[in-house]
Amino acid sequence: MIRSLLVANRAEIARRIVRTCRDLGIATVAVHSDADAGAPHAREADTAVRLPGDAPADTYLRGDLLVKAALAAGADAVHPGYGFLSEHADFARAVRDAGLVWVGPPPEAMEAMASKTRAKEIMRKAGVPLLDAIDPAEATADDLPLLVKAAAGGGGRGMRVVRELDALPAELDSARAEAAAAFGDGEIFVEPYMEGARHVEVQVFADTHGTVWTLGTRDCSLQRRHQKVIEEAPAPGLDEELRRTLAESAANAARAIGYEGAGTVEFLVSSAGRAYFLEMNTRLQVEHPVTEEIYGLDLVALQLRIAEGEPLDAEPPAPRGHAVEARLYAEDPARDWRPQTGIMHRLDIPGLRVDSGPADGDAIGVHYDPMLAKVIVVAPTRAEAVRRLAHGLERARIHGPVTNRELLVRALRHPEFAAARMDTGFLERHLAELTAAAFDDDGAASPAELAALAAALADAARRPGTATVAGRLGGWRNVPSQPQSRSYRAEPGGTEHEVRYRLTREGLHAEDMPDVRVLGAAAESVVLDVAGVRRTFEVTAHGDRRYVDTPRAALCSPRCPASPTPPPVPNRARCWRPCRARWSGSPRWRSGTGSRPDSPCCGWRP
């Protein structure tokens, strides 16, 4: 029986494992770098051990420090999560040699699948369908396009698509260098690149008594830079014969290497409906929650029970419904997927399953993967699950760095995705339209412009020193006056939006937005009539940033510092105020009875 478990990981997966251990009555030990000293996974575990340093190479990738931490904290087992050392056979051996339980497959099985070239040889002998490798020296134009791949590792590193034969030597060198830097292994290979293929995988589980489960399929075709963004289970649009082929091939792959625990066998499925072995991940996958949701299982709990020697049932439970997962990243898709940093002030996605790394108030730094959370929905049908996920993401309150939330919503609602016609090139093909500036479907102001107006009105209502909203918004005058003006930079996109407004006999009026009427303005809520439709905007201030949310959608996150209202041009002859003070040439009041330096001149003219 496992009584205390060290989680050799961080962020979302570490919190996920801690949650299951708590349900099972297992004590938990977290490890953390200096950058993660206050991270949720370190706070939520029963105990935590510091790994000095910030960089992964000095902390989470130091197997010797992780084993030492487990022993020092009195843990009797280690769970590697995913990423970092989760597929390193030497780390698994070190854990076992220290007398600890390794929650994962045998090191020999991990080694067999660690090299994609060796894995293909084993799969060929096991009768698993696969693509034949191509000798780069003998490649011809008829073989194009080609895919250069690193033999070790994953996550898209060391991977290149080659469409011109002359570019192959340079791409081979580039992929080899990247693979060596990322994985310590510069071995690469070349195979045909399948245009329009889907990425489909099978979840496998094997116990120590010879039972192997295959838990359906997952489609992971929506990828950016060969990294998954949206996943779903079961994979839609596959006929029964293909599903059976995938399940049998995955089970044969697991048996061929004496597998134990959780693993995933990945395939490419061509547009003609033929499956080819891609690789086997000897660990828990990021997208495992979609399988959990349709099978009603806790896959982490299954891993722990198998590690304790418990047998699986003869057959897995039957699946029900459809599940979809979206990965929320702190990145800007419109700017080459550039990672973003800053404080995550608020991450609130009510009504949906959210497996997140940071909590409110946590800093998003530069040292680790930018994934913030996984948002998961299960429903009776695929259409309903996709609709609920898009709606939930749209209404989410995400106050912090720029994220890929808008891209996720648009991708989920894209006609090709709705019809399950996606492939691994979907995001690259549609990136421009998925990141384009949004405009209202009723022809009124754009969402970003409306959000900027709401932020400006809320900022004005937040000004201290004046009792009435009208006073804070500039005051009504019986003659035309200059409008108030503020500028905000919308995120994502970075587009500047200048908004102007004034107070008239009819109330607040937004300049340059004839279809917009201001119905109410307070520091945290602004109500607008947009082309006859009433909309409420919640405005939250965090330092110099303003975040604008509405029940219809989370429109954008205008960024301050906003330009203040420009100082008015003073009437140097006389400022018309009851004290009849005269303009002194500086932005101060001066009268015959003395100066009033605390009262700026408003510059109002008759």
Do the strands 188-192 and 346-348 form a parallel or antiparallel pair, or are they unpaired?
unpaired
Give the active site residues. 283
- C-beta neighbour count of 53 within 10 angstroms: 16
Find where tokens 């600890």 sit: 100
Conformation bin of residue 66: beta by default, left when phi > 0, alpha when psi is -120 to 50: alpha
Distance CA 42, CA 75 (A): 15
Do the strands 582-583 and 545-549 form a parallel or antiparallel pair, or are they unpaired?
unpaired
Distance CA 217, CA 246 (A): 8
Closest CA to 219 of 153, 285, 164: 285
Q: What is the CA radius of gyration of the chain?
A: 29
Cα torsion 78, 84, 89, 90 to 10°: value is -80
- Is residue 507 a contact partner of residue 518, using CB atoms and an 8 Å limit? yes
Q: Which residues make beta-bridge pairs with 344?
A: 362
Distance CA 307, CA 309 (A): 5
Closest CA to 488 of 561, 556, 381: 561
Distance CA 237, CA 228 (A): 19
The strand ranges marked E within 330-467 are: 331-332, 338-339, 342-344, 346-348, 353-356, 362-364, 371-379, 397-399
Distance CA 208, CA 260 (A): 6
The 3-state DSSP class for residue 454 equals helix
Distance CA 287, CA 293 (A): 11
- C-beta neighbour count of 39 within 10 angstroms: 24
The 3-state DSSP class for residue 18 equals helix
